[in-house]
Structure 1
C-alpha cells in the first residue's frame, strides 16, 4: 500500500509538470486573443492597480499642491518684505531729497542776505496746542540767537525769536494770535504802500495787512516785504503777495489779505537773521 501511494504521487507530479509546461507554451504563443482565464486575471490585476494607483496619485498631487502653496507663501512673504523695504527706502530718499532741496534753498538765501548773516537751525519741537503759534529750534544763545531776531525759511519770513536758552530758542510764528506780534511791511509797486501785518485768518490761511491808506491803488498779486521800520525785522524780507482787498468797517483804510510766501507748517530748517548791530553787541 505505501508503494502504491508513492507511485500515485509521482504520477500526479509528472502530470502537473506536463500541464504547467503546456500552459507556459500556450501562453507564449503569438495570439490575437488571450484566454478567458488570462483576461479575468488581467482585469482583476488592472482593477486592483487602479484602486491603489488613483488614491496614491491623489495623495501625491495633494502633497505637491501643499508644497507649492508653502513655497508660494514663502515667496510672497519675501516679496512683501522687499516691497516694505522698498517703500521705506523711497520714503527715506524723498525725505533726503526734500531736506537737500530745502538746504540748497537756504544756502542760496544766505547769499542774498547781503548785509545780514544767518544762523542755520532745525525745528525740534512743535506743540499741538500751539501749532499755529510757536515752534522750538535747536540753536540758542550759545550760538548767538537772541530775542527779537527775525526767522525765515528759504521761501520767506515766518516769525521772530521770543526767548532763548543756551541750546534752544522759541519762535513765534506770523500765524500767532498774539495781537502784539506785528510786522511793519510795505507793498512794492510804483508807489510803495506801508502797513502792518497784524493777524492771520486760519480759515483762509492768509495773513492780514491793515492800516493801508484808502486813497492808494493796490492790486492783487503785488509783492509784500518787510519795511525795516519796526526795528525788529530787517528790510526786504519776503512776506507774500496780495490775495484779496477790502475796505475796513469804518471806510477809512484798506485791508489786504496776504498769501504767505513761506509755508508755516511744512518745513524743518530755518535761518535766524543776525543784523549788523546784533553782531556788534555780540562781540562787545
Structure 2
C-alpha cells in the first residue's frame, strides 16, 4: 500500500472519529452551547429568517390574489342569480296581475245573467286613431256581432267596431263621438229619480268621457256612478261606465255637462268580455227609442 493511500485512509478515519465525537458532544444535556454552536445556530437562523420573509410574503400575496379571484367569481355568480331573481319577481308580478284580472273577469262573467258573455283576449293595439282601438281573438265564428258592448271586470271599455271570422276590432270609449253615443243612467240616492243622459264623446285634456244630462234642475255630485240605461237596443242595461268627475253648466245653461272618469283602464287590458245582448233581448222591441245609441 502506498504512502498516499495510507495517508488518505488515516485522514478519513480521524475525520470519522471527530464526527462521532461531535455528535456525541451535541447530544449531551447541556445548559450552554459552545461558541461555535452558537455561531452556527445564529447563522442558520438568520439565513432561515432571511429566506422565510420573502417566502411568506409571496405565499400571502398568492393567497390574496386567489381569494380576490374567488370573490370576483362569487360576485359574478351572485349578480347572475340576482338578475334571475329579478326576472322571476317581474314574472311573478305579471302573473299575479294577470291572475287578478282573470279572476275579476271570471267573477264578472259569473255575475252576468241578462246576456251571454263571450270571453276574449286582447291580441293587438292598433297604432291608428291614437290607440283608440284594440283587436281581440274572437270573431264571427264565436258569435261576435258589430256594436256589441265590450267590458272588463271593472266596467265597459267600448264596442265591436268590425269583425272577421276569428278576430274583431274594438272601438274604445276614448274614441267615441256623437255617432257612438250611449244612453246612460246616473245612480243617485233612493229618494231621487235616476238622472239620464248621453255619453257623446271623450275629452282628451280631461281624460274623461263627456256626458250630456237630460235634466238641469237636479243636482249631480261628484262620485256618482254612471251605468248604461239599455235604451236604444244596443247596449244592455246596467253596464258600469264610470264615475262623475266634474259637473259644469251646458250651453245656454239649459243642460248640464259632466266629465265621467271611465271605470275600466282603457290603456292596459288583456282579457275582456263581449256582451251578446241578443240572448236576453225581448222579442218585441217596438217601444225602443231609436237613435239614442248607434
Alpha-carbon offset, residue 151 of structure 1: 0.4
- Give the Cα–Cα distance (whole angstroms) in 1 for the partners of residues 7 and 185 of structure 2: 140
- Give the Cα–Cα distance (whole angstroms) in 2 for the partners of residues 70 and 271 of structure 1: 58
- Contact 2:114–2:280, Cα closer than 8 Å, also in 1: no
Alpha-carbon offset, residue 75 of structure 1: 3.1
- Give the Cα–Cα distance (whole angstroms) in 2 for the partners of residues 276 and 43 of structure 1: 111
1:254 — aligned with what? Answer: 256
1:244 is paired with a residue whose SS is strand
- Contact 2:152–2:273, Cα closer than 8 Å, also in 1: yes
2:95 — aligned with what? Answer: 96
More off after superposition, 10-19 vs 91-100 = 10-19
- Give the Cα–Cα distance (whole angstroms) in 2 for the partners of residues 66 and 278 of structure 1: 79
> Normalised by the size of structure 2, how large is the TM-score?
0.83
The aligned length equals 280
1:268 — aligned with what? Answer: 270
- Contact 2:195–2:213, Cα closer than 8 Å, also in 1: no
CA shift in 2, pair 1:8/1:179, >3 Å: same
CA shift in 2, pair 1:12/1:262, >3 Å: closer
1:83 is paired with a residue whose SS is helix
- Contact 2:213–2:258, Cα closer than 8 Å, also in 1: no
1:174 — aligned with what? Answer: 173
- Contact 2:126–2:135, Cα closer than 8 Å, also in 1: no
1:213 is paired with a residue whose SS is coil
2:151 — aligned with what? Answer: 152
- Give the Cα–Cα distance (whole angstroms) in 1 for the partners of residues 89 and 12 of structure 2: 91
- Give the Cα–Cα distance (whole angstroms) in 2 for the partners of residues 88 and 253 of structure 1: 54
1:160 is paired with a residue whose SS is strand
- Give the Cα–Cα distance (whole angstroms) in 2 for the partners of residues 90 and 18 of structure 1: 85
1:81 is paired with a residue whose SS is helix
- Give the Cα–Cα distance (whole angstroms) in 1 for the partners of residues 102 and 213 of structure 2: 36
Matched, 1:58 2:43: no
Structure 1: state its 5+ residue gaps: none
Q: Deviations over 1:179-200 (max 9, x none)?
A: 5332111212221111111222
Alpha-carbon offset, residue 34 of structure 1: 1.9
Alpha-carbon offset, residue 213 of structure 1: 2.3
Q: Deviations over 1:192-229 (max 9, x none)?
A: 11111122233433222124422122122221101122
Q: Deviations over 1:210-258 (max 9, x none)?
A: 2442212212222110112233211111111212111124322111111
Alpha-carbon offset, residue 269 of structure 1: 0.3
Q: Deviations over 1:93-147 (max 9, x none)?
A: 3323322222222222223322200110000001345454111111111111111
Q: CA RMSD in A?
A: 2.8
Matched, 1:74 2:76: no
Alpha-carbon offset, residue 90 of structure 1: 2.8
2:109 — aligned with what? Answer: 110
- Give the Cα–Cα distance (whole angstroms) in 2 for the partners of residues 13 and 98 of structure 1: 98
- Give the Cα–Cα distance (whole angstroms) in 2 for the partners of residues 6 and 87 of structure 1: 90
2:292 — aligned with what? Answer: none
More off after superposition, 58-67 vs 225-234 = 58-67
> Normalised by the size of structure 1, how large is the TM-score?
0.85
- Contact 2:177–2:200, Cα closer than 8 Å, also in 1: no
Structure 2: state its 5+ residue gaps: 284-294
- Give the Cα–Cα distance (whole angstroms) in 2 for the partners of residues 12 and 94 of structure 1: 95
More off after superposition, 16-25 vs 213-222 = 16-25
Alpha-carbon offset, residue 23 of structure 1: 3.5
